[in-house]
Amino acid sequence: MSYYVDPWWMNCGNNPADSAAQQMEQRTIMQAVDRALRYAHRHNVTLISSAGNEHYNLDNPTTDFISPDYPPGSEYDRNIDSGCRILPAMGPHVIATGSVGPSKAKADYSNYSLKWVDVSGPGGWFRDFFGTPQHRVNENQVLSAYPKQLAQRAGQLNPDGTPNTPLVIQSCLAGTCGYYQWLQGTSMASPHATGVAALIVSHFGHRQGGKGGKDQLEMNADRVEKILLKTATDTACPNPPTVDYLDEGRPAEFTATCTGTTDKNSFYGDGIIDALEAISFKD
């Protein structure tokens, strides 16, 4: 789940900065999304979400300057508190995924939280490896499928279909070509976590019963989460724990402080996901 529920980035049920109608809208969103998440969990759906790219400490929310994002231009700064939530990332039974770069450092853009971030995964970080030739190279990011029509609309393809920018990669087989683009974000990290969860189900799951389910595997969602978190690589906070990202060209608002232990902290959650460890898990 690489999204948040529009139009509110942070949903607050009784925020005095919002009108009565806006408060009611947010309460409705929270109730509906929570109900849907609990329903899915009861039916053995493992729920995985991006933690978000606002370089925000979700343990100490103070301001929402994004909402409401529709209609355009209607957003306003509002004070918020810990009773406000990004959904689905901060919903029940959701495994929220933070982002690390190829060096395994927390990506500067990634939201972080001791309470809400459960695991971290490779989400790409263009500004990783400061001070080395690998700093600010496209390969620090993650290749993601890119519809040809979108690439054409963005003016990134030549008339013959070849890319005209290093941000786009073309891959052709038997005359059919697909396209990929270099991206970064927790929306790149959560699909990695989802892939590992799928491997866990494929390795440890059992055949479904009932009509049409004989070829499908299922697994208790809590057990999938347990294996995913237990097999993630414990990663300690950096030393010192406060990272300013100034060298990477980010303003002071990106500065983040890691809290917690090696086993569980606000930058990495229970650790960085590990596919091989996950399918090798033994109780």
CA distance 15 to 81: 9
CATH code of the domain in which 229 resides: 3.40.50.200
Q: Which domain holds residue 91?
A: 20-124+189-279
Give pLDDT, residue 283.
Answer: 80
CA distance 194 to 16: 37
Looking at the structure of the chain, the number of domains it has is 1
Whether the per-residue pLDDT at 212 is higher than 70: the answer is no
Q: Calculate the CA dihedral of residues 229, 232, 234, 238 and round it to 10 degrees.
A: -100
Indicate whether 180 belongs to any domain: no
Kindly report, residue by residue over 127-160, the tens digit of the pLDDT: 999 999 999 999 999 999 999 999 999 999 999 9
Looking at the chain, how many residues does it have? 283
CA distance 265 to 114: 5
Give pLDDT, residue 237.
Answer: 98
Indicate whether 50 belongs to any domain: yes
Give pLDDT, residue 210.
Answer: 56
Indicate whether 235 belongs to any domain: yes
CA distance 99 to 79: 26
**Where does the pLDDT of residue 207 fall: very low under 50, low under 70, confident under 90, or very high at 90 and above?**
confident
Indicate whether 134 belongs to any domain: no
Indicate whether 101 belongs to any domain: yes
Give pLDDT, residue 147.
Answer: 97
Kindly report, residue by residue over 29-54, the tens digit of the pLDDT: 999 999 999 999 999 999 999 999 99
CA distance 214 to 54: 43
**Where does the pLDDT of residue 209 fall: very low under 50, low under 70, confident under 90, or very high at 90 and above?**
low
Q: What is the pTM of this model?
A: 0.93
The SS3 of residue 26 is: helix
Indicate whether 173 belongs to any domain: no
Cβ atoms of 136 and 127 within 8 Å: the answer is yes
Q: Tell me the pLDDT of the chain averaged across its residues.
A: 96
Indicate whether 65 belongs to any domain: yes
Indicate whether 83 belongs to any domain: yes
Cβ atoms of 94 and 49 within 8 Å: the answer is yes
